[in-house]
Chains A and B, each alone.
Chain A
Amino acid sequence: MKLVKVIGSITSTIKDQSLSGFKLLLVQSIGIDFTEKEDYYVAVDTIGLGEGEIGIICTGSTAKYTNITRHKNVDASIVAKVERIDLENYNLKS
């Protein structure tokens, strides 16, 4: 599971058959203090996120275990929208 920020949406006509109908988003990996990292993923949106919002992605074969991505050829899916992170010393709001 990785903390990510949505930075764009992807249009794609030619793709694997099992991916048709999915909303694909370009996400950027971020740190716990929301600093951006040079690490990008294309993830299937399972909950409906917009640009600039913070979410959590699941990578690898476990990305297939959400309801809409079951038996589909994906290896990254957005599984949560982050509203708040409470840490011992400081708390951050998205």
Chain B
Amino acid sequence: MRIAKVIGNVYATLKHEKLKGIKLSVIQPINIKGEDAGSPIIVADYLNAAVGNMVYWIEDGTTICKIVGKRSIPLRGAIVGLIDSIDMKNNKVSLKG
């Protein structure tokens, strides 16, 4: 899993049949200081994360198929958890989601 911050939602009316009913969110990968790292990615969101939430997401296709309950789906990335806080004693930082 990787950490990221939700920065928006995607609305798509015309999409692949298997993607129907799935909420899509735009996430921004972040580093441990909370700064942006890399470019934003579109992932599926089953937990209804709000914009601004810190989340962790999986990028493994096999696991995503299991979550969705389909044998195959054209989807890469799904949010699996919302982060309340990350405690880092050695770095003396505590990130709040």
Contact = CB atoms under 8 A, between A and B. Distances in A.
A31 interface: no
B66 interface: yes
Given A26-B88, A75-B1, A76-B1, A12 B81 contact: yes
Interface residues of B, number: 30
Interface residues of A, number: 30
Interface in B1-39: 1-3, 31-32, 37
A16 B47 contact: yes
B63 interface: yes
Interface string B58-97: 1111110011000000000000111111111111010000
B17 to A, nearest CB: 23
Given A10-B56, A42-B2, A63-B60, 7 more contacts: A9-B86, A9-B87, A13-B82, A14-B82, A24-B81, A73-B66, A73-B80
Interface of A: 7-16, 19, 24, 26, 28, 38, 40-43, 51-52, 59-61, 63-64, 73-76
